[in-house]
């Protein structure tokens, strides 16, 4: 069955590497082309991320540099097809893999919405307002202030709505999450787990998950062991506990996958790169119907994407 993976950091890894990493087969990339093909990935989302220590005047250029890697390394592979609009998902042929840009934190745009509109034109289809800390738009998951969205952050959500761009809640603090839920037409959690199973600030409380499901939003399960199990030693069974929990809250048709590959340094046992997804699917098929597993793998998102 086909896979949609809603989050990887391959572009950031290529950008920060001291030598050019081949997207086709570099062993350093968890999501290189050969591994995506091995794992039957049909759509891979590529995050644009800049580290918080980078000077503000350098951040937008860093995003553009990562987009250049996207166009020159990823899209130059004949199997990779750019997904710039939601309808492009319907045109992917056999053997083709969709590639979509997402933005992980709006720090790089400063207070300039024109820069965000430029990123939309270049293909960004999902926007997370923060990484883990505060910026001009909102407070992130590790910001103790928990102040929510600013007026500028609310403008961004409205612009996302206007362009049918997803608003990603994965890195938001609680108040920011609730502010987004009040405003966003297209909320998504690109890579988050259940806080009831693993009490980490990057995971979602039950009330948050229920709010996502009530609004038609998707929650994409993340593989990073520290978000899976306390102590950071996790198995596939531990990861499935998060799926089980979200299903118990009514989300069986609103669960997807968001690996966080190339942004993580430790792994769920048996999920060390994109080519190993069958290890997860086979375990899921022991617990869920084939239709439900196909939903987790890709079809839930295809049915709920913006139109």
Would the pLDDT of 64 be above 90? Answer: yes
pLDDT band of 19, cuts 50, 70, 90: confident
**Mean per-residue pLDDT for 190-205?**
98
Residue with tokens 């038609």: 216
Burial 221-260 (b: 16+ CB within 10 A, else e): bbbbbbbbbeeeebbbebbbbbbebbbebebbbbbbbbbb
> To the nearest whole number, what is the mean pLDDT of the chain?
97
Cβ–Cβ under 8 Å, residues 170 and 159: no
Length of the chain: 307
Cβ atoms within 10 Å, residue 40: 17
Residues 200-204: contacts with CB under 8 Å, at least 24 apart: 200/226, 200/227, 201/141, 201/142, 201/173, 202/132, 202/141, 202/170, 202/171, 202/227, 203/227, 204/169, 204/177
Q: Is the pTM of this model over 0.85?
A: yes
pLDDT band of 42, cuts 50, 70, 90: very high
pLDDT band of 49, cuts 50, 70, 90: very high
Instruction: Convert the pLDDT of each residue in 71-84 to its tens digit.
Output: 999 999 999 999 99
Would the pLDDT of 275 be above 90? Answer: yes
Instruction: Write the Ramachandran bin of 149: left for phi over 0, alpha for psi from -120 to 50, otherwise beta.
Output: beta
Instruction: Convert the pLDDT of each residue in 101-155 to its tens digit.
Output: 999 999 999 999 999 999 999 999 999 999 999 999 999 999 999 999 999 999 9
**pLDDT computed for residue 18 by the predictor:** 80
Q: What sign does the CA torsion over 161, 163, 166, 171 have?
A: negative
Instruction: Convert the pLDDT of each residue in 23-39 to its tens digit.
Output: 999 999 999 999 999 99
Cβ atoms within 10 Å, residue 199: 10
Cβ–Cβ under 8 Å, residues 102 and 124: yes
Outline where the chain has alpha helix (H).
10-16, 33-38, 56-69, 113-122, 151-162, 174-183, 206-214, 225-228, 236-248, 277-285, 290-294, 300-304
**pLDDT computed for residue 137 by the predictor:** 98
Instruction: Write the Ramachandran bin of 176: left for phi over 0, alpha for psi from -120 to 50, otherwise beta.
Output: alpha
């Amino acid at each position: 069955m086909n896979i949609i993976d809603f989050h990887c950091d391959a572009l950031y890894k290529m950008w920060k590497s001291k030598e050019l990493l081949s997207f086709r087969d570099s062993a350093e990339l968890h999501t290189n082309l050969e591994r995506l093909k091995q794992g039957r990935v049909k759509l891979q989302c590529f995050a644009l991320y800049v580290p918080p220590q980078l000077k503000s005047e350098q951040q937008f250029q860093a995003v553009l540099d990562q987009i250049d890697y996207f166009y020159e390394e990823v899209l130059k592979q004949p199997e990779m097809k750019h997904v710039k609009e939601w309808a492009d998902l319907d045109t992917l042929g056999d053997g083709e893999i969709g590639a979509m840009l997402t933005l992980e934190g709006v720090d790089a745009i400063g207070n300039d919405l024109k820069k965000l509109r430029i990123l939309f034109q270049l293909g960004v289809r999902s926007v997370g307002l923060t990484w883990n800390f505060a910026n001009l738009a909102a407070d992130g998951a590790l910001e103790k202030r928990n102040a929510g969205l600013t007026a500028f952050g609310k403008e961004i959500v409205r612009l996302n709505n206007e362009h049918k761009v997803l608003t990603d809640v994965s890195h938001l603090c609680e108040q920011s999450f609730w502010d987004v839920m009040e405003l966003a037409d297209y909320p998504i959690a690109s890579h988050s787990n259940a806080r009831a199973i693993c009490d980490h600030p990057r995971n979602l409380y039950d009330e948050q998950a229920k709010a996502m499901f009530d609004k038609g939003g998707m929650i994409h399960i993340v593989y990073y062991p520290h978000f899976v199990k306390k102590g950071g030693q996790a198995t596939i069974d531990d990861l499935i506990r998060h799926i089980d929990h979200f299903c118990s809250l009514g989300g069986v048709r609103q669960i997807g996958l968001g690996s966080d590959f190339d942004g993580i340094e430790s792994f769920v046992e048996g999920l060390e790169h994109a080519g190993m997804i069958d290890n997860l699917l086979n375990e899921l098929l022991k617990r869920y119907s084939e239709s439900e597993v196909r939903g987790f793998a890709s079809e839930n998102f295809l049915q709920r994407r913006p139109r």
